[in-house]
């Protein structure tokens, strides 16, 4: 399980645990949008949100799930970047934004991915869906299974493109889970494709519709979306000083508005909060005694840097304490929860995060288990 998915259920809403800290919380901006959310990727903290659980039409933000499953297929070697996929009549006839593939031709997967991400090509999405799952209907079932696995409890997918459908919906919260998973699970593909500013195919050059790629050099993705019902939507991510924020803005009035409102949200998060590294990647927060194991100890920590956001002026007041699970008995699996890291600011509770085993501890042999059983009688 990824670090962010471990942290999200445990990350406390900022300042809710402490009225004193709540008084110091930065005042969030008001956006001209239906729904929005700003996520600190390093810790899973939601810095601010407005109607994050309201069901809305995702439009082309749906393509994030299509991309996620495409990258997963590449990782599993179900398909390859060099492989060419056939363009069906259905893919060719699909309406909306297009990559302009030609029916009954073969198109490399690498080009289809660029057409899907940069050009938001619906024809590219259907071609990929059919190539991976046999049909777009089968692919939609895969999308819904993956959504459940990622914890997207308020989402339903019916196609690979985001074209309007009564049973196609999601939320800002769910989209933050999806976009965060894509960035985290497939960093090489994210870096390769999502910062592309234009793509030329079939002698047609189309620009990336994400205006922030041209405005702010710290922004490196993610995806735009638009239908009449959904309005103008944008999920964007920016990295500044090794700190990544993810913004979800849904239902603005125009292309320029989704860009300006998203940038407003990102800038607010970077300006009003500092990043504090509480624990390093693969570094032991604690070394714990293990009973009946082949090894007597296990290292506990995080598989990625734990970076939390705190309001300006509070960084020096951050403290953390590790609370271990009582009496660890082998076998211990790598990734198993071993306790909680409790974070406080100025002596007041702030958040807590699950700490996991950084290594496995297999069961000891018969005599080793017997000796520890006897020792446990006296402990």
Average pLDDT over residues 204-223: 97
- Confidence (pLDDT) at 283: 95
Please report the pLDDT score of residue 11 as a whole number.
Answer: 45
Domains recognised in the chain with CATH numbers? 31-273 (3.40.710.10), 280-377 (2.60.410.10)
pLDDT band, residue 25 (cuts 50/70/90): confident
Average pLDDT, integer, range 40-59: 95
Predicted local distance difference test score (pLDDT) of residue 118: 98
Mean pLDDT value across residues 181-208:
97
Query: What mean pLDDT do residues 301-305 have?
Result: 92
> How far is the C-alpha of 226 from the C-alpha of 234, rounded, in Å?
9
d(CA 232, CA 187): 26
Find all residues with CB under 8 Å of 177, minimum gap 6, and list them: 5, 8, 150, 151, 152
Cite the active site residues.
Answer: 60, 63, 120
Residue 255 pLDDT > 90: yes
Asked if residue 252 has pLDDT above 60, the reply is: yes
pLDDT computed for residue 363 by the predictor: 94
Contacts of 275 (CB under 8 A, 6+ apart): 40, 42, 241, 242, 243, 307, 308, 309
Average pLDDT over residues 168-185: 98
What integer is the mean pLDDT of 281-306?
94
Position 22 scores a pLDDT of 55
4: pLDDT confidence band, cut at 50, 70 and 90? very low
- pLDDT over threshold 60, residue 379: yes
CA dist list (Å): 207 to 57, 201, 215: 24, 11, 14
Where residue 239 falls among pLDDT bands split at 50, 70, 90?
Answer: very high
pLDDT band at 41 (very low <50, low <70, confident <90, very high): very high
Residue 21 confidence (pLDDT): 55
CB atoms under 10 Å from CB of 71, counted, come to 18
Neighbour-count burial of 98, counting CB atoms closer than 10 A to its CB (0-12 exposed, 13-18 middle, 19+ buried): buried
Rounded to 5°, the CA angle 286-290-295 comes to 100
Q: Residue 359, Cβ neighbours under 10 Å: how many?
A: 16
- Report the mean per-residue pLDDT for the chain: 92
Output the CA angle 122-111-248, nearest 5 degrees: 55
Q: Write down the pLDDT at residue 15.
A: 40
What does the radius of gyration of the chain's CA atoms come to, in whole angstroms?
23
pLDDT (tens digit per residue) in 323-374: 999 999 999 999 999 999 999 998 999 889 999 999 999 999 998 888 989 8
The pLDDT tens digits of the residues spanning 308-319 come to 999 988 999 999
What's the whole-model pTM score? 0.87
Query: What is the rounded average pLDDT of the residues 38-46?
Result: 93
pLDDT at 376: 87
Helices (H), the chain: 3-7, 19-22, 63-75, 89-93, 109-117, 122-133, 136-149, 172-185, 187-193, 212-215, 255-272, 366-377
pLDDT tens, 51-101? Answer: 999 999 999 999 999 999 999 999 999 999 999 999 999 999 999 999 999
| Residue 342 token pair | 């409790």
- At residue 9, the pLDDT reads 39
Residue 12 binned pLDDT confidence (cut-offs 50, 70, 90): very low
Neighbour tally for 134: CB within 10 Å: 10
Percent of the chain clearing pLDDT 90 (strictly above): 86
């Amino acid at each position: 399980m990824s670090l962010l998915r471990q942290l999200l259920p445990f990350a406390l809403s900022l300042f809710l645990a402490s009225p004193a800290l709540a008084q110091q919380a930065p005042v969030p901006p008001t956006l001209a949008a239906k729904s929005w959310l700003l996520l600190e990727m390093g810790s899973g903290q939601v810095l601010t949100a407005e109607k994050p659980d309201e069901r809305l039409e995702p439009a082309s933000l749906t393509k994030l799930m299509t991309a996620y499953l495409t990258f997963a297929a590449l990782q599993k070697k179900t398909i390859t970047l060099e492989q060419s996929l056939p363009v069906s009549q259905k893919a060719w006839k699909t309406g909306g934004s297009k990559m302009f593939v030609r029916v009954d031709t073969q198109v490399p997967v690498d080009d289809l991915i660029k057409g899907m991400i940069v050009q938001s090509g619906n024809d590219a999405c259907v071609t990929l869906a059919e190539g991976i799952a046999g049909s777009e209907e089968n692919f939609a079932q895969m999308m819904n299974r993956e959504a459940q696995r990622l914890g997207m409890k308020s989402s339903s997918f019916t196609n690979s493109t985001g074209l309007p459908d009564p049973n196609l919906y999601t939320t800002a919260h769910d989209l933050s889970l999806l976009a965060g998973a894509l960035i985290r699970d497939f960093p090489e593909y994210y870096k390769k494709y999502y910062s592309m500013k234009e793509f030329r195919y079939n002698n047609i050059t189309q620009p990336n519709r994400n205006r922030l790629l041209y405005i702010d050099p710290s922004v490196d993705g993610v995806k735009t979306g638009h239908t009449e019902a959904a309005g103008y939507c944008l999920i964007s991510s920016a990295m500044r000083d090794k700190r990544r924020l993810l913004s979800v803005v849904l239902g603005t009035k125009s292309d320029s508005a989704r860009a300006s409102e998203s940038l407003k949200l990102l800038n607010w998060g970077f300006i009003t909060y500092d990043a504090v590294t509480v624990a390093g990647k693969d570094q032991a927060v604690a070394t714990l005694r293990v009973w009946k194991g082949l090894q007597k100890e296990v290292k506990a920590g995080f598989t990625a840097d734990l970076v939390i956001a705190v309001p300006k002026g509070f960084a020096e007041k951050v403290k953390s304490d590790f609370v271990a699970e009582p009496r660890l008995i082998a076998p211990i699996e790598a990734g198993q929860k071993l306790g909680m890291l409790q974070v406080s600011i100025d002596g007041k509770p702030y958040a807590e995060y699950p700490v996991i085993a950084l290594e496995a501890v297999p069961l000891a042999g018969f005599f080793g288990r017997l000796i520890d059983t006897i020792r446990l009688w006296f402990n």
